Structure 1
């Protein structure tokens, strides 16, 4: 990766046009060919960028650009479109290259599969006397995350999300419609479980008779020791 801090202006020409006036910015050129332009505030996202596949060349500025103080220009051309990025560099404050090697990728803690496994292991989180029937209960339209029995022996289908939105409620609704056609399971109730549930999703779920449960991942994983907490 090449990291450059420079006073520069940036022009993008493609599906739209955009201009960044002269300022000090962070320029990143990654091994995959992507070029990103960052500021020191406002957002974690780049102000402008060119995604791969693309090619970058450092070229001499035009006479007019040189007269305005431009020392060098970066010309970035996308390989599959007419999109172009031109960076006019007036002053370089830092320029270094680093071999980062192969990245192992992001390992997420608290993804849906982990939440599903933990809730299945601690199914009585949903109620005393509840029992697990099966994880990944297969149906004709896909697997239901958890099928379990409540204390009365009634069947309950549980859909698990990290962040619960309307799409998740719709998905569970389709599962319930299908499961309730099976006389061996019906009536099947539904639980929509997530670490965070959007208000609109909660309203829709409750309107359809679906119970909403907010999951505490730390508590399920055993990190939350209630006996040693001060509050």
Structure 2
């Protein structure tokens, strides 16, 4: 991972446009190719970012200022997204080898949801069968790898609350999985984003990327919500 602290201006052009005026920020370039722009606030969420697959080109403008141009790999659905970072002053620049991450050890409701959905994958889609839990990838494990009735591979990401970050995480997995010739023998790997509740913004982003959303009833899966015991 490379960490750069710099006075910088950031401009994004793609599905929309966004501008960050000149200020001191942290630029994070991860081994998977993603580029994130952070401020000294806002918790974990970056101000702007570019998800892999993308390319970073370092150069200079006509007046000699250092400029980074991050370009997404075009998906064929339109022009590539572009993130332009103009660096006025670099205050810190370092690289660190983090090694292979063992992945998030899930606990509580989210872990139990994964176990229940692994036992009952048809809750998510008719004809779905489980291939493996915690399917390994180079950037972390996919919660469930399944197969539909046509033999197509389905990657399932499970959250208690479905937010944009979860959609981005599943998108990264799908980008990587769809480079696997074995998984894509019968067609591209599709995604299901499953959660007890999914925020409207996350649903819009997921559907825009061809990801199916599934709202999961935790109590029903646990067998607590028995229709035969209802009064109404």
User: TM-score, with normalisation over the residues of structure 2?
Assistant: 0.51
- Displacement of 1:108: 1.5
Does the residue aligned with 1:24 lie in a helix, a strand or coil? strand
* Aligned-residue offset at 1:168: 4.1
| Cα 1:116/1:40, change in 2 over 3 Å | closer
RMSD: 3.8
Residue 125 of structure 2 is aligned to residue 109 of structure 1: no
What is the aligned partner in structure 2 of residue 35 from structure 1? Answer: 35
Aligned pair count? 142
Report the equivalent of 1:218.
none
Between structure 1 and structure 2, the one with the greater Rg is 1
Runs of 4+ in 1 over 6 A off after TM superposition: none
Q: Distance in 2 between matches of 1:113 and 1:73?
A: 43
Note the C-alpha offset of 1:172: 2.7
Q: Which runs of 5+ in 2 are unaligned?
A: 125-158, 162-195, 199-214
Partner of residue 120, structure 1: none
What is the rounded CA distance, in whole Å, between the counterparts of 2:114 and 2:69 in structure 1? Answer: 48
TM-score by length of 1: 0.51
* Native 8 Å contact 1:111 1:162 kept in 2: yes
Residue matched to 2:220: 172
| 2:113–2:218 CA contact under 8 A, matched in 1 | no
Per the TM alignment, residue 82 of structure 1 is displaced from its structure 2 partner at its CA by 1.3
CA 1:98 to 1:169, structure 2 compared with 1: closer, same or farther past 3 Å?
Answer: closer
Residue 4 (str. 1) matches residue 4 (str. 2): yes
Deviation at residue 60 of structure 1 after TM alignment: 1.2
Q: Contact between 2:25 and 2:38, CA under 8 Å: does it hold in 1?
A: yes
After TM superposition, give the deviation of residue 107 of structure 1 in Å.
0.3
SS of equivalent residue, structure 2 residue 61: coil
Aligned partners of 1:116, 1:97: CA distance in 2, in Å?
35
